[in-house]
Chains A and B, each alone.
Chain A
Amino acid sequence: MATATAAGAEKNYLNEKSGLWSWLTTLDHKRIGILYMISVMIFFAIGGTFAMLIRWELFSAGKNIMDAKLYNQAMTFHGAIMVFMVIIPGIPAFLGNFFLPMQLGAKDVAFPRVNLMSWYCLIIGAAVAFFSLFYNGADTGWTFYTPYSINTQNGTVLLVTGAFIIGFSSILTGLNFIVTTHKLRAPGMSFWRMPLFIWALYSTALLQVLATPVLGITLLLLTAERLLGVGIFDPKLGGDPVLFQHFFWFYSHPAVYIMILPAFGVVSELIATFSRKTIFGYKAIALSSVGIAIVSFFVWGHHMFVSGQSQVAGIIFSFLTMLVGVPTAIKVFNWVATLYRGSVRFDSPMLFALGFLFLFTIGGVTGIMLATVGVDVHFHDTYFVVAHFHYVMVGGTLMAIMGGIYYWFPKMFGKMVNEFWARISFVLIFIGFNVTFFPQFILGAMGMPRRYFDYLVEYESLNRISSVGAWTIGVGFLIGLSVMVHGWLRGKPAGPNPWGGKTLEWQTASPPPHENFHVQPVVTAGPYEYR
């Protein structure tokens, strides 16, 4: 830091203390955010490697590089890692940890020690889950459907236990965010002056606290059944396998919104900043987050239209699912309307936000197709579903994470990334993504079932296209990673507010000092006052 600028020479959260131990015991929400960033990136690399191997195996019909046993494990670990260790903690625990207190004008989260503990829950849970690889892995898919998961002979119990422990990480982070939002807002920061990222995190936190315990209990019951032979889900012991699906989706459907709501928040920030315009329909966006959170508790049955649940239940769940579509559509329209007569710049974060809108819209309309029960009977458990949720989870959440990282990178590290290569990474990911997953809609409509190690030859050409696309995405992410590492080592100094943002995190130095603000900020207006 010999040539550092005046701002860089100051004490900040990165250089205030040094040494690995100071990081592992830190109570600073920013440092914990960075810990999450590193761990989530490592998990993403592992889960992504599994994805690449899966697409390699599916490149041609028949066996290519692995047998069915190994394929089913790769498929299981890809799903479990990406869901439990990447997408769920991705935005809230990493970007949220770092920026929720800053956007609220607070010094830290309400319970810094609990915050650190939640990171350790993630790490310990992940370690337990990976340990299952030494016990023949697990081959149940990330959904652990019974009775298969009860009878299969391998490390499933360890993977389930890992997911159980990671659940606590999620619950504790959610709890922390709820209390922080209620108690630690800066003077003048009323609920209607909170940035939309906070509204999104707040809605997510409600879901995390209310829904995750259900998953915990379900996984505990599953473990009890496997280890102690208590008959809950296995019909051989008098249990009901469909009950497991109800329990599982009662968590895992809200979990879908745990994954996507924070992304909505990030995109709201990006669109406002890079259009330099107040967000259109602030209250509608804020309340639609809460609305989605509430309705999402009542739609779990749309995963089970053909599971053997009653016809009446199927129809009710179809109706409720349609209702979730309305607030989601409102958000998309609001973002597009914000661009109208704005002053739009195409920096890499904004490219990811626009990419998000593009892909999420496709994910959204195909979601309506799947909610239409008569059509879903055909699409259920085919590649159509695979394509749909990748459009939402990858095209939505991962695009938002990437956009969020590029947006806040200058704030986190006080340096700019190389804009040219950041845009290249966007182009590769965006094109690769469509090449990978659009053919899967067609495959699904043709009837190709998911979780298939092998497929009929008529599906081969589209699978080949899909595999090539997957590798393109892989290259895009590798470039993105290099851009970040390069920015961290060699980036040009950023200054406190390179994008002209209006929210509070841009009112302090980059990187921020230990307790975020030298002077307690006082809020006198809304979050996006561009006038």
Chain B
Amino acid sequence: MPYPATDIAHGVDTLYEFLLIASFISCVLVIGGLILFAMKYRRRSEGEKTPYISHNTTLEFLWSFIPFVIFMVVFVWGWVIFHQFRSMPENALEITVEAQKWDWTFVYKNGRRTTGEFYVPVNEPVKLVMTSKDVLHSFFVPAFRNKQDVIPGRYTTYWFKANTEGNFQVFCTEYCGDKHSAMLAKVHVVSREKFDEWLGNEPYKGLSLVEIGKQIHQVRCSVCHTVDGAKNVGPSFAGLWGREEKLQNGEAVKVDENYVRESIVNPAAKVVSGFPAGVMPTFAGQLTEQELSGMIEFLKSLKK
């Protein structure tokens, strides 16, 4: 088990340890009995007589009833923990989570958006209101021992109160296609002061447009578009700027400012031949003008 970073996670671990011990004891009893009987009563000569034992009501009652009692104990115990997972706290810090193939975006009340990582204050309850733009995803943080499917067309919720500062891994655990295993994110648990500072900060303070584009590429595009010329799900960005691209409908288009912008906000409009249509999701409304310009400058910088 990974490090438990919430109080509930500690509770889960205690129950898990109980289950492990109980399971180990039952395995030793069953498998031990199996090996003991099989060896002790192995056939020594053909034609041996065996006793005719059809059943034993007391014994059968006991080995039905005792497991039943154990099962009920762990059932109720599990119920209690599940209830803690699913009872949303009042006054929690609310963050909206948007999942799409294949990244996680986190939106704060003040409008701050961040993709691939997000910050939360330590020792304060945080509530995530999650939805998906395309298919099913599932939000899983092993350190919190909790996961929740993220469903298109409705909201699901998830809460945690991290008790330790640190960076924790977020996985997508509902199969969502080619890059399912690359749909990762990090949750940074920091002190309240650091959190406030981060939340209030201009995200791109002091960065040039190229650097902004580079940052966006890393968190949002690099899963599908390489910068070293290798073909991935989508075309590589290396040397793309200014090139004539052949489209699926046979036309050709020059990669310029307008084409890049259109491909980001309406990717289905002009699909380069050799790549499937409908794979790239739209980023309309998700990038600011500054960020779009950053992407364009970044592509220019990759020109050969």
Contact = CB atoms under 8 A, between A and B. Distances in A.
Interface of A: 68-69, 72, 139-141, 145-148, 151-153, 235-236, 240-242, 275-278, 280-284, 305-308, 311, 314-315, 318-319, 322-323, 325-326, 329-330, 332-334, 336-337, 339-346, 354, 357-358, 361-362, 365-366, 368-369, 371-378, 380-382, 445-447, 449-456, 530-531
A337 B33 CA distance: 9
20 contacts: A235-B153, A280-B55, A283-B55, A311-B83, A311-B86, A315-B82, A318-B79, A319-B75, A323-B71, A325-B71, A326-B71, A340-B53, A341-B51, A358-B34, A369-B19, A372-B15, A375-B19, A381-B174, A451-B175, A453-B180
**Interface residues on chain B, size class:** 35 or more
B180 A452 contact: yes
A237 to B, nearest CB: 10
Nearest to A145: B136
Given A276-B50, A345-B42, 17 more contacts: A72-B180, A139-B178, A147-B136, A278-B52, A280-B56, A284-B60, A306-B138, A306-B147, A318-B79, A329-B64, A336-B34, A343-B41, A374-B85, A377-B82, A447-B2, A452-B180, A454-B181
Contacts of A380: 147, 173
A365 B75 CA distance: 14
Contacts of A530: 50, 52
Contacts of A140: 175
Given A336-B34, A451-B175, A377 B75 contact: no
Contacts of A281: 54-56, 60
A235 B154 contact: yes
Given A368-B19, A456-B169, A339 B37 contact: yes
B259 to A, nearest CB: 24
A317 B134 CA distance: 28
Interface string B35-50: 0011001111000111
Contacts of B136: 145-148, 241
A268 to B, nearest CB: 14
Interface in B93-138: 134-136, 138
A314 B172 CA distance: 21
Contact of A336 (B23, B30, B145): B30
B156 interface: yes
B75 A341 contact: no
Contacts of B41: 275, 339-344
Contacts of B146: 377-378
Contacts of A152: 177
Nearest to B67: A329
A141 B186 CA distance: 27
Interface string B13-40: 0011001001100110011011001100
B151 interface: yes
A151 B37 contact: no
Q: Among the interface residues A240, A346, A374, A382, which one has the most CB atoms of the partner chain B within 10 A?
A: A374
Contacts of A366: 23
B140 interface: yes
Nearest to B137: A148
Interface string B213-239: 000000000000000000000000000
B72 interface: yes
Given A153-B278, A308-B149, A357 B34 contact: yes
Contact of A341 (B31, B53, B179): B53
A63 B276 CA distance: 21
Nearest to B174: A381
B152 A235 contact: yes
Contacts of A336: 30, 33-34, 37
A288 to B, nearest CB: 9
B149 A307 contact: yes
A374 B278 contact: no
Q: Which interface residue of B11, B42, B74 has the most chain A CB atoms within 10 A? A: B74
A357 B138 contact: no
A130 to B, nearest CB: 22
B43 A449 contact: no
Given A235-B154, A319-B75, A343-B48, A306 B148 contact: yes
A241 to B, nearest CB: 6
Interface in B52-88: 52-56, 59-60, 63-64, 67-68, 71-72, 74-75, 77-86
B176 interface: yes
